[in-house]
Amino acid sequence: MKIIFEKNKLLSAIAPMLGVVSSKNTIAAIEGIKISTKGSFCELAAFDNEKGIKNTVEAKIEEEGSYIINAGKLYQIVRVLPDGEVTITVNDRNITEISSGLSCFELHALPGDDFPVLPELSGETGFTVGQAELHEMINKVMFAVAVNDPKPMLNGVYFKINGSKITAVSCDGQRLALREKICDIDNIVESSELQMEFILPGKSLSELTKLLSDDEEKKVKIILGRKHVIFLIEDLIFFTRMIDSNYIEYERFIPKTNRIFVKAESESIIKCLERAMLVTEEKTMGQMKSHLKCSFSDKKLAFSSVSVSGKFYDEISIEKDGDDIEIGFNCKYFMDAMRCVDTDYIKLSMSTPLMSMLIEPAEKKPDDTFIYLVLPVRM
Amino acid sequence: MKIIFEKNKLLSAIAPMLGVVSSKNTIAAIEGIKISTKGSFCELAAFDNEKGIKNTVEAKIEEEGSYIINAGKLYQIVRVLPDGEVTITVNDRNITEISSGLSCFELHALPGDDFPVLPELSGETGFTVGQAELHEMINKVMFAVAVNDPKPMLNGVYFKINGSKITAVSCDGQRLALREKICDIDNIVESSELQMEFILPGKSLSELTKLLSDDEEKKVKIILGRKHVIFLIEDLIFFTRMIDSNYIEYERFIPKTNRIFVKAESESIIKCLERAMLVTEEKTMGQMKSHLKCSFSDKKLAFSSVSVSGKFYDEISIEKDGDDIEIGFNCKYFMDAMRCVDTDYIKLSMSTPLMSMLIEPAEKKPDDTFIYLVLPVRM
């Protein structure tokens, strides 16, 4: 194989793949990028058996072939080579030469056949949506995705598309995040109503968000395959397996009959939680964490916390409807949810110190809303 | 003790002290900042028995006192408090309240008497020099300071001031860095000639460089105490113990009778070394490092290296005077020196593959020069 690339084109094609290749794996092939010639183009693929990227780069193909080159090394080498043309040559003994001008690196490649077979990247249903809209939606529920939970669906985000409404839900057993938004959606099957649901792994989504632009003009096409979801982001194809399971019946966890309702300014709460974290997240004595006590009384919400190293107290003004209540939280969980709030005022709903608290916009907009739920801790 | 500070003034006084306090020490006092009232001012001090900072902050003193507060915690707390006035109160039982508005933190202080006694911060000889000049000088010799070498002087930088000429030297046994510069110096004892030499610990110098501005107008006053050197940087006093030892006779290590002289472009060498590092600093198989072979032949310098994971080759044009030579280096050591070169062209001088190589400016300016020396490795 002998291919001549323009250095910067090659570099920007490899860069997004670094997050997808598996590192420290026992199978060397999936630490690599598969480079294959396809007519006058060069196809690049990275796949860790869960998520992957496929991409094409314009290049001068002097000799055809298909080889796997370690992704990290390839990127580092191309990055430091002089600007201009970069030539990648692989000989019969898999010895790979990456050169530009007089600079030359030599390393070993693996034959392209060793690469895992990419899943079938096609499907009949799907839609097009703004990259920025999808990006924001994922960012604001990611914090509540479980990591290595034995219930596989909790390690992902549940998406439900119903016409132009997208719902995204995550839940790790201690908290739940739900966003719902009417988006500017184009159904690719125009004759039928858009109705689909799927669960995508958290790890895949955090790679996906790196590829999604914040430009409101740019679109991403999402296609539902048999076992995979395929994202077409400009010339790049990102794909990830779905978590093959039903999602938890999350609506059952959202209390419907709360008796205490509080309206408060989001920013004031965030500031207080930030301060409280200095005491509650104290780690000097091992992994000691103390809880945050929230006392809602009359027109005042008082935060307090005591740990081995000190005490904290702060208060803010609120509007309350219902009884006074004292309720304890894991400060970080409360904070994670508050950081994803995007309204100036929020509504907190509670009923007892043992039942979860709901965080919602103070004034609900039907086309863009959220519900965050945080379980209290026993004090 | 009760003192009212303006938050941002307090914060900018504490911030530079964080690098000076000792962390994870068995003596809690030296992890702290000593806060003492002095008339209408408040004096802050941090000292880890080697280096220290003394500073004063304008404040409203409502009750006098002297206490030690953990530096890290104090900084974190003040940083997240609301803007405006911050009140620090310490009661008889050493309980410290740090508050602003309704926000309040409580922690323990130690009595001021537990703080180590600061050294006598006075001396009769000294000089004033540009902060930027001193900063640059230190930055360009720091890489060759030894860490925990049994010879204490190697863990510091040797400074020699002779009239308006400052010489700074560092050496870790494998390489040596020497900078010499005519600076704009004001002697504080005008009647006599400025003649002094001292060795300052590397760790103190890396804190000092954080305090020195790059503004060419700003000056620093340096005073030689009995066992300490004192730096007056605007309102702040930084001091560090000297390493009480004679410096090595470094001039003996600088070869005077080289036979091979090479002129080369600095940037081209740096680019090649950067590439070579990908192969020589390979760390996949434990801590394996391979050396860099430099072959000087005729008008060409060829770099090559082989490691378990691959090969590297590159070459640049040079002007050479003397025999051809093949010489091996620790690539990182060569690179560290080259990164501190500030001339477009350099002169390399060698005699045999077993004797150290000198890196000097291609055209020597008597008022601003450097010599870097790198020991070769056996190939």
Domain of B265: which CATH number? Answer: 3.10.150.10
Please say if the pLDDT value at position A91 is more than 60.
yes
pLDDT tier at A139, thresholds 50, 70, 90? very high
Asked if B159 and B198 count as a contact pair (C-beta separation under 8 A), the reply is yes
Task: Give me the amino acid identity at A35.
Answer: I
- Asked if residue A330 is part of any domain, the answer here is yes
Residues of A in contact with B313 (CB under 8 A): 102-106
Average pLDDT taken over every residue of chain A: 94
Position with higher pLDDT, B43 vs B289: B43
Using the 3D structure, point to which of A114, A136, A152 is the last residue of a domain: A114
CA distance to partner chain A, nearest, from residue B35 (Å)? 19
Please say if the pLDDT value at position A285 is more than 70.
no
Its ipTM equals 0.88
In chain B, which residue's Cα lies nearest the Cα of A308? Answer: B107
CB atoms B82 and A271 under 8 Å: yes
| CA end-to-end distance (rounded Å), chain A | 67
CA angle B258, B268, A3 (to 5 degrees): 135
CA distance to partner chain A, nearest, from residue B216 (Å)? 34
- Are A221 and A131 within one domain? yes
Residues of A in contact with B102 (CB under 8 A): 313-316
Using the 3D structure, point to which of A210, A234, A250 is the last residue of a domain: A250
CB atoms B278 and A80 under 8 Å: yes
Q: Token pair of A252, please?
A: 């059952």
- Asked if residue B379 is part of any domain, the answer here is no
Question: What is the predicted pLDDT for the residue at A39?
Answer: 85
Asked if A270 and A239 count as a contact pair (C-beta separation under 8 A), the reply is no
Closest partner residue to A310 (CB to CB) among B80, B107, B313 is B107
C-alpha–C-alpha distance, residues A315 and B100, integer Å: 12
Determine how many CB atoms are found less than 10 A away from the CB of residue B272: 27
CB atoms B310 and A76 under 8 Å: no
Structural domains in chain B (count): 3
- What are the residues facing B52 on neighbouring strands? B47, B239
| CA end-to-end distance (rounded Å), chain B | 67
In chain B, which residue's Cα lies nearest the Cα of A309? Answer: B107
- Asked if residue B44 is part of any domain, the answer here is yes
Quick: pLDDT tens for B137-180: 999 999 999 999 999 999 999 999 999 999 999 999 999 999 99
Question: What is the predicted pLDDT for the residue at B284?
Answer: 57
C-alpha–C-alpha distance, residues A280 and A304, integer Å: 10
CB atoms B106 and A312 under 8 Å: yes
In chain A, which residue's Cα lies nearest the Cα of B274? Answer: A80
- Are A282 and A244 within one domain? no
Determine how many CB atoms are found less than 10 A away from the CB of residue A361: 18
- Are B240 and B260 within one domain? no
In chain A, which residue's Cα lies nearest the Cα of B284? Answer: A24
CA distance to partner chain B, nearest, from residue A352 (Å)? 26
Quick: pLDDT tens for A165-188: 999 999 999 999 999 999 999 999
Give B260-314 as a DSSP string: EEEEEEHHHHHHHHHHHHHHHT--SSTT----EEEEEETTEEEEEEEETTEEEEE
Determine how many CB atoms are found less than 10 A away from the CB of residue B133: 20
CA distance to partner chain A, nearest, from residue B220 (Å)? 36
Residue B176: which domain range?
A: 125-250
Pairing relationship of beta strands B2-6 and B60-63 according to DSSP bridges: antiparallel
Closest partner residue to B310 (CB to CB) among A103, A107, A312 is A107
| Nearest of B22, B43, B19, B42 to residue B32 by alpha carbon | B22
Please say if the pLDDT value at position B44 is more than 60.
yes
Mean pLDDT of A342-368: 96
Percent of chain B with pLDDT over 90: 89
C-alpha–C-alpha distance, residues B284 and B309, integer Å: 8
Asked if A336 and A359 count as a contact pair (C-beta separation under 8 A), the reply is no
- Are B51 and B95 within one domain? yes
Closest partner residue to B104 (CB to CB) among A81, A314, A316 is A314
pLDDT tier at A280, thresholds 50, 70, 90? confident
Quick: pLDDT tens for B51-108: 999 999 999 999 999 999 999 999 999 999 999 999 999 999 999 999 999 999 999 9
Quick: pLDDT tens for B268-323: 999 999 999 999 876 655 556 789 999 999 999 999 999 887 899 999 999 999 99
Which of A98, A314, A317 is best to mutate for the B interface (most B CBs within 10 A)?
A314
Closest partner residue to B76 (CB to CB) among A106, A108, A278 is A278
pLDDT tier at A379, thresholds 50, 70, 90? confident
C-alpha–C-alpha distance, residues B287 and B17, integer Å: 36
Question: What is the predicted pLDDT for the residue at B283?
Answer: 65
Residue A81's contacts (CB-CB under 8 Å, 6 or more residues apart) are A7, A98, A99, A100, A101, A103, B275
Strand order in the sheet with A345-350: A195-201, A156-162, A165-171, A175-182, A368-374, A357-361, A345-350, A260-265, A319-321
Closest partner residue to B77 (CB to CB) among A103, A105, A278 is A278
- Asked if residue A341 is part of any domain, the answer here is yes
- Are A262 and A368 within one domain? yes
- Are B102 and B134 within one domain? no
Quick: pLDDT tens for A48-72: 999 999 999 999 999 999 999 999 9
Mean pLDDT of B203-228: 96
CB atoms A310 and B279 under 8 Å: no
C-alpha–C-alpha distance, residues B161 and B183, integer Å: 10
- Asked if residue A119 is part of any domain, the answer here is no
CB atoms B311 and A107 under 8 Å: yes
C-alpha–C-alpha distance, residues B333 and B324, integer Å: 22
Question: What is the predicted pLDDT for the residue at B307?
Answer: 87
Please say if the pLDDT value at position B112 is more than 80.
yes
CA distance to partner chain B, nearest, from residue A342 (Å)? 21
- Are A297 and A360 within one domain? yes
pLDDT tier at B24, thresholds 50, 70, 90? confident
C-alpha–C-alpha distance, residues A204 and B35, integer Å: 51
- Are B135 and B241 within one domain? yes
Residue A334 gets which letter from DSSP? H
CB atoms B105 and A73 under 8 Å: no
Using the 3D structure, point to which of A250, A280, A315 is the last residue of a domain: A250
Residues of B in contact with A107 (CB under 8 A): 309-311
Give A50-113 as a DSSP string: SEEEEEEEE-EEEE--EEEEEHHHHHHHHHHSPSSEEEEEE-TT-EEEEEETTEEEEEE-EEGG
CB atoms B278 and A313 under 8 Å: no
CA distance to partner chain A, nearest, from residue B277 (Å)? 10
Q: Which residues of A touch B (CB under 8 A)?
A: 73, 76-77, 80-82, 102-108, 271-272, 274-275, 278-279, 309-316
CB atoms B107 and A309 under 8 Å: yes
- Asked if residue B240 is part of any domain, the answer here is yes
C-alpha–C-alpha distance, residues A376 and A334, integer Å: 9
- Are B269 and B356 within one domain? yes
In chain B, which residue's Cα lies nearest the Cα of A270? Answer: B80
- Are B208 and B290 within one domain? no
C-alpha–C-alpha distance, residues B187 and B164, integer Å: 9
Question: What is the predicted pLDDT for the residue at A283?
Answer: 65
- Are B216 and B285 within one domain? no
- Are A140 and A174 within one domain? yes
- Asked if residue A120 is part of any domain, the answer here is no
Place of tokens 């439900």: A160
Question: What is the predicted pLDDT for the residue at B286?
Answer: 58
